[in-house]
């Protein structure tokens, strides 16, 4: 019942926001400097962020995406099921897990400087792990990627609508993930990126509707439950 209610509510919000987003003419990629220049702080602090990720990866076993969030099962577990898509949650609708504060203090501090963060996490694809075509569920946010560690040989790429983007270490991109997208990965090393979702730029009233819906509805029905599942075992 809760899942159906959430799906219905998100569908109504998507219809409303699409009136302002451009519908089928809405952009695929966005200029970071024009849209949210604060995001570029992550580009500037790439080395510090990478060091914090490396510490987490060295000492802890990361959770798979679908174990943390069962709604991601189809895109996380059904293709190349023997390979893993792992994540480390840094923020969910304003909620920062204690582990993130403890293990990634610099990255957490940088996130506090970004207005209207929807969610943020490290995303790790094991060698050869691809992600099938799908559309992001909610028009209320845009997605930022910063390449942290991208294999030099056969670098993984993402198709968004009809455009291809190839990740690079220290380089970032901002896009609308409600367009169909998929990841191609034939690399023999992990692909590691930082993902930060921000509220979609909207006029005053739609922005406030979006903010209310995220903070009062999505946070209650989704984020609070996912954050409680955040846990990691220490490596031997």
pLDDT per residue over 69-127, tens digit each?
A: 998 999 999 988 899 999 999 999 988 999 999 999 999 999 999 999 999 999 999 99
30 by DSSP, 3-state: which?
strand
The whole domain housing 75 covers 2-234
More confident residue, 5 or 33: 33
C-alpha closest to that of 111 among 120, 103, 102: 120
Q: Specify the pLDDT at position 2.
A: 62
* Lookup result for tokens 């990841």: 183
158 by DSSP, 3-state: which?
strand
Q: Specify the pLDDT at position 221.
A: 82
Tell me the CA end-to-end span of the chain in Å, nearest whole number. 41
Q: What is the pTM of this model?
A: 0.96
Do residues 49 and 148 lie in contact, with contact meaning Cβ atoms separated by under 8 Å?
Answer: yes
Q: Is pLDDT above 90 for 181? A: yes
C-alpha closest to that of 89 among 75, 68, 70, 71: 68
* Lookup result for tokens 């990691």: 232
pLDDT per residue over 117-165, tens digit each?
A: 999 999 999 999 999 999 999 999 999 999 999 999 999 999 999 999 9
Handedness of CA 24, 199, 34, 43 (dihedral sign): negative
Name the domain count of the chain: 1
106 by DSSP, 3-state: which?
helix
Non-local CB neighbours of 146 within 8 Å, separated by 6+ positions: 42, 43, 46, 49, 170, 171, 172, 193, 194, 196
41 by DSSP, 3-state: which?
helix
Between CA 221 and CA 216 the distance in angstroms is 9
Provide mean pLDDT across the span 43-52: 98
C-alpha closest to that of 84 among 216, 204, 191, 206: 191
pLDDT per residue over 1-27, tens digit each?
A: 666 777 888 999 999 999 999 999 999
Q: Specify the pLDDT at position 222.
A: 83
Non-local CB neighbours of 59 within 8 Å, separated by 6+ positions: 234, 235
**Which CATH number do you get for residue 149?**
2.60.120.330
């Amino acid at each position: 019942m809760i899942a159906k209610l959430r799906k219905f509510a998100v569908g109504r919000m998507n219809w409303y926001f699409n009136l302002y987003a451009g519908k089928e003419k809405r952009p695929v990629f966005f200029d970071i400097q024009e849209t949210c220049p604060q995001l570029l702080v992550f580009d500037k602090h790439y080395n510090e962020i990478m060091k914090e990720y490396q510490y987490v990866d060295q000492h802890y076993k990361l959770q798979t995406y679908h174990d943390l969030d069962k709604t991601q099962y189809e895109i996380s577990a059904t293709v190349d099921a023997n390979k893993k898509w792992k994540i480390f949650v840094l923020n969910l609708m304003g909620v920062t897990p204690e582990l993130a504060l403890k293990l990634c203090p610099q990255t957490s501090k940088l996130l506090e400087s970004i207005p209207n963060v929807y969610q943020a996490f490290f995303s790790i694809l094991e060698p050869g792990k691809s992600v099938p075509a799908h559309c992001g569920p909610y028009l209320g946010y845009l997605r930022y990627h910063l390449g942290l560690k991208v294999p030099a040989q056969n670098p993984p790429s993402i198709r968004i609508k009809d455009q291809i983007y190839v990740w690079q270490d220290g380089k970032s991109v901002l896009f609308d993930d409600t367009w169909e997208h998929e990841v191609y990965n034939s690399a023999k090393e992990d692909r590691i990126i930082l993902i930060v979702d921000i509220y979609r730029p909207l006029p005053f009233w739609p922005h406030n509707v979006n903010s209310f819906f995220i903070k009062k509805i999505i946070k209650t029905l989704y984020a609070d439950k996912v954050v409680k599942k955040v846990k990691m075992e220490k490596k031997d």
